[in-house]
Amino acid sequence: KQEVTQIPAALSVPEGENLVLNCSFTDSAIYNLQWFRQDPGKGLTSLLLIQSSQREQTSGRLNASLDKSSGRSTLYIAASQPGDSATYLCAFLSGTYKYIFGTGTRLKVLA
Amino acid sequence: SAVISQKPSRDICQRGTSLTIQCQVDSQVTMMFWYRQQPGQSLTLIATANQGSEATYESGFVIDKFPISRPNLTFSTLTVSNMSPEDSSIYLCSVSAGGDEQYFGPGTRLTVT
């Protein structure tokens, strides 16, 4: 069974800190990996998409990397802000063309 | 990219009734997906809906409980039938656009009493 694990499950940090969120998956045969943000009670907002042939993607203060051989992806958030508080989900597109979602990391950035 | 809207945004329903959730996309897409997110949980895929064919359901989800329609390339509905409190969740539709990037609607928050 394909599984996606995110560590830590919850994180509380003071404003300005640089953060690393981890995502590990058991199936190395992935087509891509996507990071999402979800605010409480809301839908998902796409942050970054990494194709299987790529190793990383950057958007503003966000950087995501992908290491298929080790089954890991990391999301790096630079200079965190209170507005970054949300749940962050990773998901990969499997060989059966289905997205498998991680368990999520609940982030709280304190002002 | 794709912009997705869902109706209703939230609803409170009584046990034994049914609710139909609508999903509208601003562009034509081949595949639409329906997910359930139970309180405090991650997303679970209910089914994949392709235009012109029957939806494909994941293990644990059946058509009688979650009938899906896909009448055209921009619209789909999911019905939650004969609801029980265990069906209280956020229901999300999504689509895949260029490069297989997935986009989500704002979700429908369902509470069953």
Contact flag B48-A98 (C-beta cutoff 8 Å): yes
pLDDT tens, position by position, B19-40: 999 999 999 998 899 999 998 8
Please tell me which of the candidates A31, A41, A101 has its beta carbon nearest to residue B109: A41
Distance from the A45 Cα atom to the nearest Cα atom in chain B, whole angstroms: 7
DSSP conformation letters of chain B: ---EEEE-SEEEE-TT--EEEEEEESS--SEEEEEEE-TT--EEEEEEEETTSPPEEPTT--TTTS-EEEEETTEEEEEE-S--GGG-EEEEEEEE-GGG-EEE---EEEEE-
Distance from the B105 Cα atom to the nearest Cα atom in chain A, whole angstroms: 6
- What whole-number distance in Å separates Cα of residue B89 and Cα of residue B97? 26
Distance from the A104 Cα atom to the nearest Cα atom in chain B, whole angstroms: 7
Please tell me which of the candidates B31, B100, B104 has its beta carbon nearest to residue A44: B104
- What whole-number distance in Å separates Cα of residue A44 and Cα of residue A29? 24
For residue A17, give both structure tokens: 């800190």
Distance from the A74 Cα atom to the nearest Cα atom in chain B, whole angstroms: 18
Q: Which residues in chain A have Cβ-Cβ distances shorter than 8 Å to B101? A: 32, 34, 46, 49
CB-based contact A100:A4 (threshold 8 Å): yes
Q: By CA distance, what is B5's nearest residue in A? A: A43
- Low-confidence spans in chain B with pLDDT less than 50: none
For residue A107, give both structure tokens: 């982030």
Q: From B20, B22, B23, select the one nearest B79 (Cα to Cα).
A: B20
The pLDDT assigned to A1 comes to: 66
Contact flag A93-B100 (C-beta cutoff 8 Å): yes
Torsion of CA A28, A31, A35, A36, to 10 degrees: -130
Q: Tens digit of pLDDT per residue, chain A (111 long)?
A: 678 999 999 999 999 999 999 999 887 778 889 999 999 888 899 999 998 889 999 999 999 999 988 999 999 999 999 999 999 999 988 877 788 999 899 999 999
- What whole-number distance in Å separates Cα of residue A28 and Cα of residue A49? 16
The pLDDT assigned to B105 comes to: 92
Helix then strand then coil, in percent of chain A rounded to 5, is 5, 60, 40
Q: How many CB atoms lie under 10 A from the CB of residue B110?
A: 20
